Amino acid sequence: MAPFRFYSEPQAFGLWILPVSAAGVAASKRLGSRPPTGTTKCSPKQVRLWIMAYPKPLSSTEEELWRILMRIVKVMPRLLEVDLIRGAGMTASEYTTLMALSEALNRELRMSDLARATGLSASRTTRLVDDLRTQGLVTKTASSSDARANVTRLTPRGMSKLKAAWPVHLASARTRFLDHIPAKSLDCVSKGLAEVAMHLEGPPSEG
């Protein structure tokens, strides 16, 4: 028996009819098949039919790209983390946090803005900043404009730590990713991934 291709197999997709009773009890049956056992019978007045159109299957090229991307998403963060820990003595999250602060005005950010810049949750950012503060890499003080908010600022020691880690991360980015993309394809790959990133992140927040 030939292997089943989940993303590209047409039989994996189809139309379903969902009868929904007035009480909200739903039963479903596939077009052209016998209804499943235990289906709740509804009178015509109690039934609404919903036709769910499934996305079209992936082409062979789309499926190959998607499977490659899933492999990269799974493996890349772990490898970047290992490289930074071994070469610079810091985690990828710590590096990203220090980098975000170094690029901010006055090298400081409100905690909510820092979490947004690093893609970490608010609670994870709080724990991370507390750890970095104990190492003398950042400070955390109450905001002068909003007493409810805290501001994290990169210290000179933190900047030195970041500068020392930068060559390690740069080498990792090249050997793990960039060196394996043909130079003539870089612009196309960059634009394509940028479109995906913008879609995932959504429109920038105002204020």
Over residues 35-48, the mean pLDDT reads: 52
Summarised one tens digit per residue, pLDDT across range 60-99 is 999 999 999 999 999 999 999 999 999 999 999 999 999 9
What is the reported pLDDT for 17?
46
Does the pTM surpass 0.95? The reply is: no
What is the reported pLDDT for 96?
96
Summarised one tens digit per residue, pLDDT across range 20-33 is 554 444 444 444 44
Set out the domains of the chain in order of their start, with CATH numbers.
78-177 (1.10.10.10)
Convert the chain into a string of H (helix), E (strand) and C (coil): CCCCCCCCCHHHCCEEEEEECCCCCECCEECCCCCCCCCCCCCHHHCEEEEEECCCCCCHHHHHHHHHHHHHHHHHHHHHHHHHHHHHCCCHHHHHHHHHHHCCHHHEEEHHHHHHHHCCCHHHHHHHHHHHHHCCCEEEEECCCCCCCEEEEECHHHHHHHHHHHHHHHHHHHHHCHHHCCHHHHHHHHHHHHHHHHHHHCCCCCC
Higher per-residue confidence, 196 vs 47: 196
Higher per-residue confidence, 61 vs 5: 61
Tallying the residues shown for the chain, one arrives at 207
